[in-house]
A and B are shown apart, each in its own frame.
Chain A
């Protein structure tokens, strides 16, 4: 379970450009829940993810992960339990290292990075199997540098790498936004399979309303730092894209977009 309690976030505090994004923001995500988050630009979606992961600090409030207060914990420490996939496919992999080396790196998460051999030969078959599961033919390219792969292939690898070791939370930050529609569909399907299979508590920020409606068991819409729509369970199943789009247009007009 992940809880945000009374989070406040100001940008440029103490200057003329001070902007209050969150003021006493609360959100609770149940264990095993797959949450989709939609909202316009500047509504606080990505800031929320950054606050959860510790990439940016919050001015006040508490973040509890499985009941444990992690508000003061450093980003890299929190990441022990979190997997994150970014919008930019380049963020989740190392371009100058081979597929095999990238998989080995990810496989060692949570353990010591000492002077042992970088690639465990006994694990290569496992990596092959995992890669073939993606259906992109990457299992035959183990010695190819990741920088030579397409954006979709890299994003698929990033997804695989971030969920390879036992984690509890998966954070998806518009992870299909930089991909072509077909590849985006593929990545989305893979994501759903991984989330279901590993029973991960997942937060997915997306601009694709169809994905938000089709996938996940809870949907929230954010606007100016608050949650203006929150549907879960059967209510969520009944939500249609049109309904979300109508609401989305309403708040957009309000903003003058």
Chain B
């Protein structure tokens, strides 16, 4: 039972990250590697604030804003500096490694004795005793759903329409007398805000900040997005954002199951191989769709 709860918890936390990657990869068509830096950025900010005694719930919006800033930097490098998308992300990802160390102080900050969003007096009073073992899962679930719903609502606004248009056909955005560069920066800001928020929740769930926690975060995000969107392509009633969340849980489950029969060292190898398999399967499906048409 614990095994499944952990999968769900981790899957949903990474689901928030996957929502961010969905914005850059699927909507903006921008391979954003900033994610590997903005995920631990959220965690670093959280660790720094919680150890200084800040209310853990306030770390959520602050971590989001920190991610927004990182996204804006990547956007500025790409749009104003005219640096290629992939390189802009790599530059920010590299810079963030040091920035995260500065923020957190060291490469590893334990949060065992501090209050977190999952463990404090207020939440214990709020959740009935019978459900208390599931407090973490319930909170993560609620938080993920809130993120998803807000993102869904945003994508239906005028600003959201423009964001979807810029990845689809940037020329049209210029035709609408809007600066496409600014729209891209906005998209990167929101995306990295979500990724950083995921990092914040992750640090509080694991009760530790680890500088290397972001390594491979983009792979997890991409895998979740690709699993979700290609698995539920035909299910029109399911929104892409929901599909991405389910994709994230499925991916975490796959990794967890694989890890049961391998040593922990194999984790990144399993991650990479699984991602490759998912890519190959989704490409195979695309080919089939084309052949059918």
- Chain A residues packing against B (C-beta within 8 Å): 74-77, 79-80, 83-84, 86, 90-97, 101, 104-106, 108-110, 112-119, 162
Contacts and interface: CB of A to CB of B under 8 A. Distances in A.
Main secondary structure of the interface of A (DSSP, over half): loop
Interface in B132-175: 154, 156-162, 164-165, 168-169, 171-175
Contact of B175 (A79, A90, A114, A117): A79
B149 to A, nearest CB: 15
B176 A93 contact: no
A97 B60 CA distance: 32
B179 A114 contact: no
Given A79-B174, A101-B161, A118-B157, 18 more contacts: A75-B174, A76-B177, A79-B177, A91-B169, A91-B172, A93-B169, A97-B161, A97-B164, A101-B164, A104-B158, A105-B162, A108-B176, A109-B176, A109-B177, A113-B178, A114-B158, A115-B157, A116-B158
A79 B178 CA distance: 8
B46 interface: no
Given A94-B168, A95-B168, A117-B156, A104 B179 contact: no
16 contacts: A76-B179, A79-B175, A79-B177, A80-B177, A92-B175, A94-B172, A97-B165, A106-B176, A108-B158, A113-B158, A113-B159, A115-B154, A115-B159, A116-B157, A116-B158, A119-B156
A94 B165 contact: yes
Interface of B: 154, 156-162, 164-165, 168-169, 171-180
Main secondary structure of the interface of B (DSSP, over half): helix
Contact of B174 (A76, A95, A106, A116): A76
Nearest to B154: A115
B157 A79 contact: no
B79 to A, nearest CB: 13
A91 B157 contact: no
Nearest to B169: A94
10 nearest A-B pairs in the assembled complex, by CB-CB distance: A80-B177, A94-B168, A113-B158, A118-B161, A79-B177, A113-B162, A109-B176, A115-B157, A76-B174, A94-B165
